Amino acid sequence: MILSVDHVSVAYGKLNAVWDVSLGVGKGEIVTLIGANGAGKTTLLNAIVGLLPVKSGAVYLGERNITGRKAHKLVKLGIGYVAEGRGMFGSMSVLDNLILGAYAQHGGWTSQLGDATWLLRREDLKRRIEHVYQLFPRLTTRENQKAGSLSGGEQQMLAIGRALMTAPKLLLLDEPSLGLAPNLAREIFGLLNRLRDDGMAILLVEQDAVASLRIADRGYVMEMGRIVIEDTAKHLINNDKVRQAYLGQVWGSASETPAQEGENQI
Amino acid sequence: MPHFIRGRGKMLAIATLVVLLSIVPLLGNNYYTSVLLIIGIHAIVTVGLCLLMGYTGQVSLGHAAFYGIGAYIAAILSKTYHVDPWLAMVVAIIATAAFAFAIGFPVFRLRGNYLAMATLGLGIIIWILFRELDWITGGQSGFLDIPTLSIGGFAFDSDFRFYYLVWGFCLAVMFISQNIVGSRMGRAMRAIRDSESASQSLGINATLVKVKILALSAAYAALAGSLYAYYVGFIDPPPFGFLFSIRLVVMAVVGGLASIWGAIFGAASVRLLTEFLHPFGDIDVVLFGLIIVVVMILSPQGVIRGLGDLWRRISRRLTPS
């Protein structure tokens, strides 16, 4: 397992939002976490990446216990995070957003000198940026545009591209398809597939349960801060309870098309 | 080419500024020289505030405190303890920056309005200390006979001489700041302003960056404060109070929060306005409030940028398409 979450609880003050959750993500695997609004999915992600404190339990990256480490230190260990709402640096250009993605890779004292060192590491930066542009050709033409002026889909691509600049082993994504047109969402999911094939471990939180179960290898269903079902994606997609609660298949019909469209329009 | 002089227009503007500034004292009118000198001192503080508020997105309503701490440390060391004024100035800058660095960690646990309140409170506390610790600071009756700066036998004892000293420092501060803004640090600052949590998940230690910038801006304020003390030769608490903190924010806003060179314009506008409104007492504060509101509505990026946009719009309309 690249990521192991071991009996983790997370609280906001006295209010527990995540109860005793355990899950794992292996190399070259997409694991999805589905559940209704307020089930604690985002809270769990924020705790894994160190933006929220873990109340009890432990988080491991490989063999290393990373519980309680600050977010900015986890990046170097190989965790990339695409937060809900994308977290664009809206006043900065697409290129600057990408350059910031590589911030952690050059954190030595020399980096404090400013522009001189930026020239030194330019080759390496260029290679990474080229890689992101290959994955998202659309960003190339937007290079000098302000990130805030991009469309929703482009912003999502930039958010993922920026996270990839950190060269992560493990990528966590929170609602990457939110607010996107169906074809854009498909494009994003297609990319996740490719990243998985390259060996990346991916933890995907999604409201669009159908789409995420389709590309995922395994899935967890969260309810009221707890994991209630855990299975392979194939089994989950055919699980009656899951279908009823998350796939909109009240009548148990075999066709998934109407549900998928309905979800995408949200 | 270093990025801070990229763009011919900017270079031209800066050259013009430098020439204009160096001509003024030669005209021989002491009043204008002293007004421009004070503008230079205020511009140094304003630049620091722009780095903190405009680029890093962190409000400070207590910056007059750092200005005051710098002034008092420089004054007390050089007068009471007969330390060389230059050395006293360096100590004042380092001590103020260290103080800001230390309080930065608890203060930046707060955000937005709460941060504003905390810095406001801090400014008031420091100001009360200036007033009440009268066995050190001279209290309300002030601190007299502060020595002035000199190099060898050359004393900066006239407005004319001090003017060049102040603007020399001011331009140095501008170039340093412009360089920081264009560096990796500057990118991190803007990232924190736009989205703090996203900046953290890219490996930026947001708290540390914020604290460093607070310390840097406090160092600028202390530099300006000690220059002020040496120039006037006398300090008392009023210039370091709450009203001056607000005035500094007005300077930063008018010049453009995220604009280094705008700070000079902001400091100049506020200072000149204060001069004109002098006969009416403290009414200028009301006007400053109004100015902030108007600038934020009409031209949130500062008056200079606003005028530039206006000019572009007019010239576009005048050229036949």
Contacts of B202 in chain A (CB under 8 A): 72, 75, 100-101, 103-104, 162-163, 166
Contacts of B180 in chain A (CB under 8 A): 114
Alpha carbon distance A32, A214 (integer Å): 10
**Is A91 close to B200, i.e. CB distance below 8 A?**
no
| Nearest CB neighbour to B191, from listed A49, A70, A100 | A100
Tell me the Cα Rg of chain A: 19
φ/ψ of B201, rounded to 5, equals -75, 0
Lookup: tokens for A66 = 């990373």
A178 neighbors A114 (Cβ within 8 angstroms): no
Q: How many residues does chain B have?
A: 321
Select the residue from B200, B212, B301 to test the A interface by mutation, using most A Cβ atoms within 10 A.
B200
A218 neighbors A204 (Cβ within 8 angstroms): no
**Is A83 close to B201, i.e. CB distance below 8 A?**
yes
| Nearest CB neighbour to A166, from listed B188, B191, B202 | B202
Q: According to the model, what pLDDT value does residue B274 have?
A: 85
The domains found in chain A, sorted by start residue, are 3-264 (3.40.50.300)
| pLDDT tens string B298-317 | 888 888 788 888 888 888 88
Lookup: tokens for A225 = 């801060």
Contacts of B54 (CB under 8 A, 6+ apart): B252, B256, B257, B258, B259
Alpha carbon distance B95, B102 (integer Å): 11
Type of residue found at A265: Q
More confident residue, B20 or A66: A66
> A62-71: buried (b, 16+ CB within 10 Å) or exposed (e) per residue?
eeeebbebeb
Select the residue from B6, B193, B202, B257 to test the A interface by mutation, using most A Cβ atoms within 10 A.
B202
Contacts of A42 in chain B (CB under 8 A): none
Type of residue found at A113: L
Confidence of residue A87 (pLDDT cuts 50, 70, 90): confident
Type of residue found at B76: I
φ/ψ of B141, rounded to 5, equals -80, -10
| pLDDT tens string B277-286 | 888 777 777 8
List A25's β-bridge partners, or say none: A3
Task: Give Cα B66 distance to the centre of its chain.
Answer: 10
Contacts of B293 (CB under 8 A, 6+ apart): none
Name the minimum distance, in Å, from the CA of A237 to any CA of chain B: 32
- The helix/strand count (H/E) of chain A reads as 12, 10
Name the minimum distance, in Å, from the CA of B189 to any CA of chain A: 11
| pLDDT tens string B49-60 | 999 999 999 999
Is residue A223 over pLDDT 60? yes
Cβ burial, residue B120 (10 Å; 0-12/13-18/19+): middle
**Is B201 close to A76, i.e. CB distance below 8 A?**
no
Contacts of A113 in chain B (CB under 8 A): 183
Residue bearing tokens 């998940």: B201
| pLDDT tens string B11-27 | 777 787 888 777 777 77
